[in-house]
Chains A and B, each alone.
Chain A
Amino acid sequence: MKACGRWLFVAWVVAMLAGTAYGVERFPPPEFTNHQLPATQFAPPRAAAMQYVDVALLAGALGLASYLALVRRSRRGLFFLAVASLAWFGFVRHGCVCPIGAIQNVTLALFDPTYAIGLPVIAFFVLPLLFTLFFGRTFCAAVCPLGALQEMVALHPVSVPQWLAHALGLLRYVYLGLGVALAATGTAFVICRYDPLVGFFRLGGSASMLIVGGCLLLFGVFVGRPYCRFLCPYGAVLGWLSKVSKWHVRITPDECIHCRLCEDVCPYGAIEAPTEGLQPEAMPSARRRLVFFALFLPILVAGGALLGRELAVPLSMLDPTVELAERIWAEDHGLVEGTTDASDAYRNTQRPIDELIRAAVLQRDKLAWAGGAFGAWVGLVIGVKLIWLSRSRKQVDYAPDTANCVSCGRCFWYCPQEHIRQGWIGAEEKDAGRTVTLR
């Protein structure tokens, strides 16, 4: 019983008569005499002021983490701080904004003068860098919620072969370069889009990313902190700064007895064994290799740049303007059937298609440059890594590799010297332990 019939048709006729453009006043608003129009309610932004609280908490947590790691040397303290950081920066504040993602905000601000970046974002980006420059990666130890979550699941870490760890570690730089290239061109914030753990903090999000995150955590049970070691672009930057940090955690302030317990317990493979350095007879060949790599470096960079330019096409698939332009072009040339929401929306704006195509071409040019820079960067990273690996290193004691050590403090717990220093065991017991482990 269609009492009012297909009024849609009537409405359509009315709409036609009134003109088809959107937002036209088809039905003049009535003038009420005794009815007050309600005011539309808009809730003020939550958490705008909260951001400054976050900055203060971040600074406090960084200070506390540095104190716990360097002065108190308390693994337990660091662990509890990590739990607190995970709870606050992760679950309460949903992991946004975080220093890792802030890389993209500062990049975009660098390249796009119209993009305004908030002070809290700058603070989030800069504070951990500064702390790392003085105290090592204490941010990673107990402040970063991603790090904390992975720290907690690292239950049965196996050791990753050195060569594999080095190779996978390069991915961080690749990811950093990609994130920066795509942010600089205003294409996408990939580091945020593919953040594997933020879904857990929000207790929601896209199913595919939740699955990826779940797999990562599962993997993290056996390979300590996989995201930190092989993907985190911010960790890559922190690594450089940590390398030159003023202070850094030491396994023991006392004499190292070479028991190798710390090496066993570090789940992140971040402890470097003592080495004699190169023997004199190996020197000439090592020097030749170094010269070769040094000469090879420019070739790698140039080759990377050339290859990288070719990335413009795949990279632009992430760009909405290029995607839309391609779609509309394909529709107009009969290459695809039908239309999409996006192409309909663009056509509805009555803007000329040429305008869109021009914008897309411009964007693709930009991406060709960004791709070239990205390729050169990857070449540079590989070249420098090769040189770095073939340098001669001399070391007497077991010590953390400051670039990769996240100052988690596990090694303190296992170092017999530390046990004595803290008065947990007497010297005789240590000697017993030493004979056993050195056997």
Chain B
Amino acid sequence: MAENQRKIDRRKFVGDGLRIVGAVGIAGATGFWAGRRAEDDDNLWQIDPHQCVACGNCATHCVLDKSAVVCKHAYAMCGYCNLCTGYFEPDANELTTGAENQLCPTGAIRRTFIEDPYYEYAIDEPLCIGCGKCVKGCTAFGNGSLYLQIDQDRCMHCNECAIAIACPSEAIKRVPAGKPYLPKDQNGGPA
């Protein structure tokens, strides 16, 4: 009986010891990680537009059917060109809004006449699929005012962004949640 009791006591002692070690370990590790945190709470994925080469992977590699990546326009950088190299096909027949003249496969860019000879280009985001065709045209021959960003409203915040794996230029980075966008013409994100 006494022998048995001793056995049970020993079991309990070892069990309690291990539990305490486990609990202290977990608590200590939590403290360590919490201490390692930067000011901003969390990380989100975002495209560094200065590194992006508009390869087109953004449209196809996002886990969402319609990629979370959309085109943004930095109006202040735009030349308001009549002959927009982000808007028109290289061998467009005429500079009109006809679909066959447009680079954008979904016609997501709206072209509005402002004053001679200037036109304004705006992205219709629900239509944009993030293929970056316009970005490529604008960056290669224009001012580079069109650029891609991950729409944080629709992004799933995957633990490992599927596009980041496929991005050839390592343009997709973790950014602090407090600064969710990397705009070309200003700092910070939504005011």
B44 interface residue (CB < 8 Å to A): yes
Using known A-B contacts A133-B19, A345-B169, determine if residue A29 contacts B34 with beta carbons closer than 8 Å: no
**Which of A30, A45, A48 has most chain B Cβ within 10 Å?**
A45
A38 interface residue (CB < 8 Å to B): yes
B90 interface residue (CB < 8 Å to A): yes
User: Could you tell me if B154 and A46 are in contact, using CB atoms closer than 8 angstroms?
Assistant: yes
Query: Inside 8 A of A97's CB, which chain B residues have their CB?
Result: 157, 159
Nearest CB to that of B65 among chain A residues? A204
Secondary structure at the A interface, as helix, strand, loop or mixed, is: loop
User: Could you tell me if A342 and B63 are in contact, using CB atoms closer than 8 angstroms?
Assistant: no
Using known A-B contacts A44-B180, A204-B64, determine if residue A22 contacts B139 with beta carbons closer than 8 Å: yes
User: Could you tell me if A116 and B40 are in contact, using CB atoms closer than 8 angstroms?
Assistant: yes
Query: Inside 8 A of B64's CB, which chain A residues have their CB?
Result: 202, 204
**The one of B57, B95, B160, B162 that contacts A206, using a Cβ cutoff of 8 Å:** B162
**The one of A14, A121, A205 that contacts B63, using a Cβ cutoff of 8 Å:** A205
Using known A-B contacts A23-B144, A192-B160, determine if residue A133 contacts B23 with beta carbons closer than 8 Å: yes
How many angstroms between the C-alpha atoms of A342 and B181 in the bound complex?
23
Nearest CB to that of B96 among chain A residues? A3
A37 interface residue (CB < 8 Å to B): yes
Would you list which residues of chain B between 17 and 57 have a CB under 8 Å from chain A?
18-19, 22-23, 26, 29-30, 32-34, 36-38, 40-44, 50-51, 53, 55, 57
B151 interface residue (CB < 8 Å to A): yes
A: number of interface residues (CB 8 Å) = 81
B92 interface residue (CB < 8 Å to A): yes
How many angstroms between the C-alpha atoms of A419 and B157 in the bound complex?
47
Query: Inside 8 A of A288's CB, which chain B residues have their CB?
Result: none
User: Could you tell me if A46 and B153 are in contact, using CB atoms closer than 8 angstroms?
Assistant: yes
Q: Interface readout for A95-126 with B: 1 if CB under 8 Å, 0 if not? A: 01110011011100110010111111110001
How many A-B contacts at CB < 8 Å in the complex?
219
A253 interface residue (CB < 8 Å to B): no
How many angstroms between the C-alpha atoms of A2 and B158 in the bound complex?
46
How many Å from the CB of B93 to the closest CB on chain A? 6
A296 interface residue (CB < 8 Å to B): no
**The one of B53, B63, B115, B190 that contacts A204, using a Cβ cutoff of 8 Å:** B63
Nearest CB to that of A5 among chain B residues? B91
B170 interface residue (CB < 8 Å to A): yes
How many angstroms between the C-alpha atoms of A33 and B68 in the bound complex?
36
**The one of A3, A40, A109 that contacts B73, using a Cβ cutoff of 8 Å:** A40
User: Could you tell me if A15 and B168 are in contact, using CB atoms closer than 8 angstroms?
Assistant: no
User: Could you tell me if B189 and A106 are in contact, using CB atoms closer than 8 angstroms?
Assistant: no
**The one of B22, B23, B91, B174 that contacts A2, using a Cβ cutoff of 8 Å:** B91
**Which of B42, B88, B149 has most chain A Cβ within 10 Å?**
B42
How many Å from the CB of A124 to the closest CB on chain B? 10
How many Å from the CB of B53 to the closest CB on chain A? 4
User: Could you tell me if B22 and A133 are in contact, using CB atoms closer than 8 angstroms?
Assistant: yes
User: Could you tell me if B152 and A116 are in contact, using CB atoms closer than 8 angstroms?
Assistant: no
How many angstroms between the C-alpha atoms of A245 and B162 in the bound complex?
37
User: Could you tell me if A30 and B22 are in contact, using CB atoms closer than 8 angstroms?
Assistant: no
User: Could you tell me if B159 and A42 are in contact, using CB atoms closer than 8 angstroms?
Assistant: no
Using known A-B contacts A130-B23, A244-B15, determine if residue A341 contacts B53 with beta carbons closer than 8 Å: yes
Q: Interface readout for A194-205 with B: 1 if CB under 8 Å, 0 if not? A: 000001001011
User: Could you tell me if A37 and B75 are in contact, using CB atoms closer than 8 angstroms?
Assistant: yes
Using known A-B contacts A26-B79, A29-B76, determine if residue A45 contacts B152 with beta carbons closer than 8 Å: yes
Query: Inside 8 A of A129's CB, which chain B residues have their CB?
Result: 26
Query: Inside 8 A of A32's CB, which chain B residues have their CB?
Result: 114-115, 118
Query: Inside 8 A of B37's CB, which chain A residues have their CB?
Result: 116-119
User: Could you tell me if A42 and B94 are in contact, using CB atoms closer than 8 angstroms?
Assistant: no
Using known A-B contacts A46-B154, A122-B34, A126-B26, determine if residue A342 contacts B77 with beta carbons closer than 8 Å: no
User: Could you tell me if A48 and B33 are in contact, using CB atoms closer than 8 angstroms?
Assistant: no
Nearest CB to that of B180 among chain A residues? A45
**The one of A37, A110, A244, A320 that contacts B18, using a Cβ cutoff of 8 Å:** A244
User: Could you tell me if B142 and A26 are in contact, using CB atoms closer than 8 angstroms?
Assistant: yes
B176 interface residue (CB < 8 Å to A): yes
Nearest CB to that of A348 among chain B residues? B53
The 7 A-B residue pairs with the shortest CB-CB distance in the complex, in nearest-first order? A27-B79, A43-B153, A118-B42, A342-B168, A116-B38, A345-B169, A341-B168
26 examples of A-B residue contacts, CB within 8 angstroms: A4-B83, A4-B92, A4-B95, A8-B90, A22-B139, A23-B144, A26-B79, A29-B79, A30-B79, A38-B75, A39-B75, A42-B189, A42-B190, A43-B153, A45-B155, A48-B42, A97-B159, A98-B159, A102-B159, A133-B22, A192-B159, A204-B65, A244-B15, A320-B165, A344-B53, A348-B53
Where the two chains meet, the residues of A that have a C-beta atom closer than 8 Å to any C-beta of B are 1-4, 6-8, 11-12, 14-15, 22-30, 32, 35, 37-48, 51, 94, 96-98, 101-102, 104-106, 109-110, 113, 115-122, 126, 129-130, 133, 188-189, 192-193, 199, 202, 204-206, 241, 244-246, 320, 340-342, 344-346, 348-349
